[in-house]
Structures are given as C-alpha cells and as structure tokens.
Homo-oligomer: A and B are copies of this chain.
Amino acid sequence: MASRPVLTVPEIPAVIRLSRLAPLGPDDLAIVVAAAAGARSVAPRQDLTAAWRAAAPVLILDGWAHRSALLADGRRQISEILLPGDVVVNDPIAEGRHLAVSTTTALTYCSLPSDRIAEQPALTTALKVARSLEQRLLRRQILRLGRMGALERVVDWLLELYERLGACGLASDGEMPLPLTQEIMADALGLTNVHVSRTMTLLRRDNLIIVQGGRATFLDPLRCRAIVER
C-alpha cells in the first residue's frame, strides 16, 4: 500500500536547494528538470575532472563528491565536499595542477545549459548565490584548519554538512546521512584517520554526536553549536 516513489519537481533535492537560493519560476524549473532528465551516473571513487571539464556547469543530483589537492608524497587535502544541489563550474583558472574532483559515493549529475540559464534571471541569481556560499565555506574551512582543535573541527564540519543537507531536504531532526570513511573525513579535516577515530569516540562518550552505519546523529545540538560558536 506504499505510495509510488515518484518525485514531483520540488521533491528533487537539488531543485529544492536551488529554489531556496532564489525563487525559481516555472521556466527556471523547466530548464533544470529538462537538464536532470539527461542525468548521468558515476561509480564511487572515480575522478570527475576530465568528464566535467567538458560538461560546463554541472549540477549534482544525488550522491557525494569532493574536491581535493594532492602532494607528491601522497598527502591529500579535501577542500570541499560536494552535495546534491551543488553546482560545479568548470573554471580552468581557479584550478591548479593538483586539484581534482572525485566521487565519494555513487553519484548522479547533469550538466546545465549555460546559454539558456543566462536568459533566466532567477536561475542566474541562484548560481551566483551558490558561488558566494561556496566562498563562505572555503573561508570557514580555513578557519577550522588554521585555528580549531580536532574536536572543534569535527563538530563544526558536521554541523556545516547538516545545514547544507538540510537546505536540500536531506537532513532533519538532528540526523543526517554521512556516507564517508574516516579516512575521507581525515583528509577533509586535516587530521589522520587514527585521530578522527579517537575524536569520534570522544564525541560518543560525551553524548554529543554518534556516527554509525553511514549516518550521524546530533545528541546534543545546542552543546555542539556552543563548542564552535554557530
């Protein structure tokens, strides 16, 4: 007796998120939905740099990705986690040699027709706002890495993910998906996987956050926010 799992337009996470950035009209939605019809899927742990260089602006529909930089000796730093609703612009200037975008989980995306978007003021605004928010995230990431201890980093970063997932309707009630290994978290947080493990244990012991089975639960959201001034 379950209802059919059909997603109406505003139920697509990526569309929910975009329409919160700027109020999208029917024309805007039509463009995005049409683009989403040509969605492509990629397996986990695949490099997307090449594929997306051609595809111009790309909208993530489902799954997680990340942008990372590599050093010769194998050290890796993830600068951003990319979620459904995020738009990745192909910008050869902004990308250094050792920067890459890779899938974290299985991922579906579509490319957006930049010419048609340019004609739509609302969509154009939405993408502009998205870019501004991206900058804000980069600066927050800098603050985390430069001036926060391990526990603060983890809490702040998880709260950030929660807010972002919430913006596309994928998180609520202090709970969210977190389909990441501790190694990926470590590379995003500038820590080692071992230390992430210890920190997670601490968070559990202190009844702050539980990460388990691909999901994270905030047991004490207020205290979490207090820890990192959010």
The answer to the question of A46 belonging to the interface, with a C-beta cut-off of 8 Å to chain B, is no
Q: Which one of B71, B76, B95, B135 contacts A94 once the chains associate, using CB atoms below 8 Å?
A: B135
Whether B132 and A142, one on each chain, are in contact in the complex, defined by CB atoms closer than 8 angstroms, is no
Q: Tell which of A36-44, A143-151, A199-207 binds the partner.
A: A143-151
A80-114 interface (Cβ within 8 A of B): 91, 93-96, 98-99
The answer to the question of A140 belonging to the interface, with a C-beta cut-off of 8 Å to chain B, is yes
- With contact pairs A91-B135, A136-B96, A139-B138 given, residues A147 and B71 touching in the complex (Cβ less than 8 Å): yes
Whether A69 and B143, one on each chain, are in contact in the complex, defined by CB atoms closer than 8 angstroms, is yes
- With contact pairs A91-B132, A91-B135, A229-B71 given, residues A142 and B145 touching in the complex (Cβ less than 8 Å): yes
- Min CB distance, A22 to chain B, in Å? 11
The answer to the question of A75 belonging to the interface, with a C-beta cut-off of 8 Å to chain B, is yes
Q: Name the residue of chain B whose CB is nearest to the CB of A139.
A: B79
The answer to the question of A63 belonging to the interface, with a C-beta cut-off of 8 Å to chain B, is no
Report 15 cross-chain contacts, Cβ distance below 8 Å, ordered by A residue.
A69-B139, A69-B140, A69-B143, A79-B143, A91-B132, A93-B132, A93-B136, A94-B133, A94-B135, A135-B135, A138-B139, A138-B142, A141-B142, A146-B187, A147-B190
